[in-house]
Structure 1
Amino acid sequence: MREAVVPAYLLLCLLLGGSVQGVWFNMILQLVGLAIVAWAALGSDERPLIQPAWNLLLLILLGLAVIALQLVPLPASIWPHLGGRERLAAGFSALGVPVPPVAISLAPHESLTAMFAMIPPIAVICAMLRLRAYRSRWLAITLVAGTIVGILIGVLQVSGGAASPWYLYAETSRGLATGFFANANHMATLLVATLPFLAALLASVRGGSAQQCSAMAALIVGLALVILVGLALNQSLAGYLLAVPVALASVMIVLPGRNRFRTISAMVSGTLLIIAIIALWVVPIGGHNLRGDVQSSVLSRQEILTTSIRATRDLLPFGSGAGTFRSAYQLYEDHDRLEKPIVNHAHNEYVEVAFETGVPGLVVLGLFLAWWVSAAGRAWRSGVSPFARAASVASAAILAHSLVDFPLRTAAISTVFAMCLALLAQPKVQRGHVRDSSELRPTRHLSWE
């Protein structure tokens, strides 16, 4: 039962964590996550963590420290001189009110909410690295099962039209298959991230009987076709464009270690991924699907980015505070514009991190990306579990999509991403041995990954 903890929690996050609109759902996930984190902190593990795992945990602590420091009140002699705070201090003076101590964050309650939102992914990483409360195969099966259920709900949503009662949130992409999500693009992220784990399940039976391999291949092909149906119903341009390079990279997981096609596939997949990001970049927000009824008035991604970068420069060196993008962005909008749509996110996760956390956040982000590149490279150079390689492909797709969207702002995608990071941080496996360290135990029957 211990090894079912992370798969069960992952499934719960997929079912309940599709949008920040689900306040009560997210609260449940955070409370359960807190219990898991406490268990991991108090529990013991005879097997020491290797350096990549320690580095990942250290990066998490650094990220939390950046947010925590933003909540510390600063004296009135200091905070007005920080970037972008002059107009706020002038507001107190205009009201004839003494300037009070104020935190770095422009909205501390929103920063605290952002910290709470990090609990589910942190819980997954802690449970996997500290408690070993998982099996890689179970995680992959859970992810696939949750995705398939989301597709089935998407079928009901599309068949019921825009007024379908199967949509789970008031503000959602009606008429499209969103599954457990409010945003169709985020459902597309889940569909794309599931593809490499299908390949890992197939690669995990390599070396078994011909009958077993054939049966698994038929099952994987059938599930892949279901995901393609889900992408068609989802109608997300991001899903279409990212699925091609991810599918090609997934084929590399199944191929034997020494295969010339791997190098060619890697180059083509990387090129297609860059093309996909460029194509998504030039498409206006609101035009991310192939329907012909896209609204004529859509937000310009370039306009949001330009305003966000201008605000980021003004707010340096500490940013506006984690979770404050929406309220802080309004200070820099064109106030002479008659129609001012609400901008919740920068639609570029990296720019939003700089906007909210300034230089400290960018330093942590840079360290994390360096860690990810190293871990992903190790997954392909060494004889590790195919699930680690699947994690590298899935996490790369999520990181790429974050250049033009904000999928990691949902508990569902952030826990999938956290699962991938923990798989990348696991110990190496001997060449020719496909099992990961969580499954090294005596067995008297035929087992498969």
Structure 2
Amino acid sequence: MRLKGAEGTPDMAAEIAAALLLMAALLAGGGSRGVGDAVVHLAALPALLLAIMRWQWAPASRAQRVLAVVCGSAIALAVLQLLPLPPAIYTMLPGRSDVLAELAQAGQPHGWLPLTLDRWGTVRALLALMVFTSFWALACTLTHAARLRLLKLALALATLAALLGYAQSAAGSYSLLRPYDYHHPIGAIGLFANRNHFACLMAMLLPFAIALGVQAQARRGAPVALTWYSVAAMLFLAAALSFSRTGLLLACATALASVLLLSSRKGVASGQRGIRRWAPLAAIGVAIAGIAVYAWDGISQRLQQDPMEDLRWQYLRYGWDAAQAYLPWGSGWGSFKSVYAPFEPVGAMREVFALHAHNDLLETAIESGVPGLVLQLTLFVTVVCVTRKSLIDRTFHGAILGAAALAAFVPMVHSLVDYPLRTHSVAVVFALVLSFLLASASDAQ
């Protein structure tokens, strides 16, 4: 059962506000900070207002309540990190003695100081948390049909991004089609600054395209089914053309899992099951053929690179030192770039600097300490428990719900080697995925 909207806030207004935020995130939220993020923040204002007016605790499912508490606690933690603390308390926090020593050496008097070591970084993190929370909470108040329309909007925009990625890949190095020319000069990247996040978005939406194709087949709508299977093939090929190794692996895993899960749904006759299995397999086969022709050279070059030489391992090694220095309360949301550098030896430094730890658990431990880790693990455990219970109870009779279960794990797994959920485009779509997955059973029909 969906959360009922408050009187005076019609569903149409809420759906429009959610659609505008989704469009802003997918079109302008793929970079790192800057004007694009400001556009997303402005689009989130009406969504936040409507979410506050429409959200009701009583009709929410248990999983929705857990996520509401997690989101509220994360926002409260960010606000607390911005509040000034008296010197007596500030000096008790790990890692702050060096800050005070540097201020004293510079001759700058210090009064009350906030817990965070990067005020603007924490403000940006707070805004990002509010964007995610407002979209998810607002989506939960909509009908299942309205959320499906938002999903189809996301798929349409992702398809356009895939087409742009094809053009970028064909144009070669440093194409003018790339909105962010300082990162990943080859391959498909869409409107993102990071090809890994582009590939993550493609892999996350891939199960939904297959699920919509399966639904269309069940209704004997062959043209519609063909359209959605074509979208699935395009998303798969775009993930491959990004030349992201993890992104391609996740796309392969979700494609295979989608075929196995959605074609073996309870209540499907064996003959229909065979047709439903072979149709999406044919779409994936077309995508694989496209990969062999257009993307294999770039993928093979990426696979030949030694994964042990990746800077991610260096970030993990010295990032763990940073985490230990700032536990248990952390250095403040969004402060990783500022606090990591002193722990990296001069001899290990490269021509690039670390914006993120490329492991969200580690970055959360550094920035928000034990409280942040508890919140992050609570979200992960909630998703796992909901998925496990649904599989055991065989309630994944809805193709969209089954696709949501697969899609939810894409950015969470990817976050172990990258930071996709710190990009608005991926985070807002993830919120949409969770609005399907964590809904009560009667709403997922």
Q: Which residue of 86, 89, 99 corresponds with 1:78?
A: 89
Give the aligned partner of residue 16 of structure 1: 28
Give the aligned partner of residue 390 of structure 1: 403
Give the aligned partner of residue 257 of structure 1: 266
Gaps of 5+ in 1: 263-287, 430-434, 438-449
Give the aligned partner of residue 374 of structure 1: 385
1:291 aligns with 2:301: yes
Give the aligned partner of residue 119 of structure 1: 130
Go from structure 1 to structure 2 and tell me whether the alpha carbon gap of 1:83 and 1:340 turns closer, same or farther (over 3 Å shift). farther
Structure 2 residue identity aligned to 1:385 = G
> Which runs of structure 2 are paired with 1:325-404 in the superposition (5 Å)?
325-337=336-348, 339=350, 341-380=352-391, 381=393, 382-383=395-396, 385-404=398-417
1:166 aligns with 2:177: yes
What does the per-residue CA deviation read over 1:136-164, in whole Å, with 9 as the maximum and x for residues that have no partner?
Answer: 43233222211110111112212222232
Report which stretch shifted further, 172-181 or 396-405. Answer: 172-181
Shift of 1:45: 6.6
Task: Specify the SS of the correspondent of 2:209.
Answer: helix
Shift of 1:336: 4.7
Structure 2 residue identity aligned to 1:151 = A
Q: Is the 8 A contact 2:144 2:444 kept in 1?
A: no
Shift of 1:92: 3.0
Give the aligned partner of residue 247 of structure 1: 255
Give the aligned partner of residue 284 of structure 1: none
Report which stretch shifted further, 246-255 or 320-329. Answer: 246-255
What does the per-residue CA deviation read over 1:345-388, in whole Å, with 9 as the maximum and x for residues that have no partner?
Answer: 10101110111000111111122122111222244332553222
Go from structure 1 to structure 2 and tell me whether the alpha carbon gap of 1:295 and 1:404 turns closer, same or farther (over 3 Å shift). closer
Give the aligned partner of residue 135 of structure 1: 146
Q: Is the 8 A contact 1:379 1:389 kept in 2?
A: no
Structure 1 residue identity aligned to 2:98 = R
Task: Specify the SS of the correspondent of 2:376.
Answer: helix
Task: State TM-score, norm by structure 2.
Answer: 0.83
Shift of 1:171: 2.1
Task: Specify the SS of the correspondent of 1:77.
Answer: helix
CA distance in 2, matches of 1:202, 1:330: 48
1:414 aligns with 2:424: no
CA distance in 2, matches of 1:340, 1:172: 13
Shift of 1:416: 0.8
Go from structure 1 to structure 2 and tell me whether the alpha carbon gap of 1:417 and 1:215 turns closer, same or farther (over 3 Å shift). same
1:237 aligns with 2:245: yes
Give the aligned partner of residue 182 of structure 1: 193
Structure 1 residue identity aligned to 2:150 = L
Report which stretch shifted further, 118-127 or 401-410. Answer: 118-127
Give the aligned partner of residue 323 of structure 2: 312
What fraction of aligned residue pairs are identical, expressed as a percent?
A: 28
Q: Is the 8 A contact 2:55 2:141 kept in 1?
A: yes
What does the per-residue CA deviation read over 1:278-333, in whole Å, with 9 as the maximum and x for residues that have no partner?
Answer: xxxxxxxxxx9543697999653222101111110110111110000001111211
1:150 aligns with 2:157: no
Give the aligned partner of residue 288 of structure 2: none
Task: Specify the SS of the correspondent of 2:301.
Answer: coil
Q: Is the 8 A contact 2:436 2:444 kept in 1?
A: no
Task: Specify the SS of the correspondent of 1:135.
Answer: helix
Structure 2 residue identity aligned to 1:410 = T
Go from structure 1 to structure 2 and tell me whether the alpha carbon gap of 1:87 and 1:29 turns closer, same or farther (over 3 Å shift). same
CA distance in 1, matches of 2:397, 2:48: 27
Give the aligned partner of residue 93 of structure 1: 104
Go from structure 1 to structure 2 and tell me whether the alpha carbon gap of 1:245 and 1:163 turns closer, same or farther (over 3 Å shift). closer
What does the per-residue CA deviation read over 1:44-91, in whole Å, with 9 as the maximum and x for residues that have no partner?
Answer: 779822222222111100111111111111111121221111211222
Give the aligned partner of residue 47 of structure 2: 36
Shift of 1:119: 2.9
CA distance in 2, matches of 1:107, 1:376: 37
Q: Is the 8 A contact 1:83 1:314 kept in 2?
A: yes
Go from structure 1 to structure 2 and tell me whether the alpha carbon gap of 1:342 and 1:42 turns closer, same or farther (over 3 Å shift). same
Give the aligned partner of residue 427 of structure 1: 440
Q: Is the 8 A contact 1:181 1:187 kept in 2?
A: yes
Report which stretch shifted further, 358-367 or 134-143. Answer: 134-143
Q: Is the 8 A contact 1:349 1:403 kept in 2?
A: yes
Structure 2 residue identity aligned to 1:161 = G
RMSD: 2.9
Go from structure 1 to structure 2 and tell me whether the alpha carbon gap of 1:360 and 1:46 turns closer, same or farther (over 3 Å shift). closer
Give the aligned partner of residue 229 of structure 2: 221
Number of corresponding residues: 403
Higher helix fraction: Structure 1 or Structure 2? Answer: 2
Task: State TM-score, norm by structure 1.
Answer: 0.82
Q: Is the 8 A contact 2:21 2:47 kept in 1?
A: no
1:53 aligns with 2:64: yes
Task: Specify the SS of the correspondent of 1:186.
Answer: helix
Q: Is the 8 A contact 2:20 2:43 kept in 1?
A: no
What does the per-residue CA deviation read over 1:405-435, in whole Å, with 9 as the maximum and x for residues that have no partner?
Answer: 1111111000011111111121213xxxxx7
Shift of 1:134: 6.0
CA distance in 1, matches of 2:57, 2:89: 48
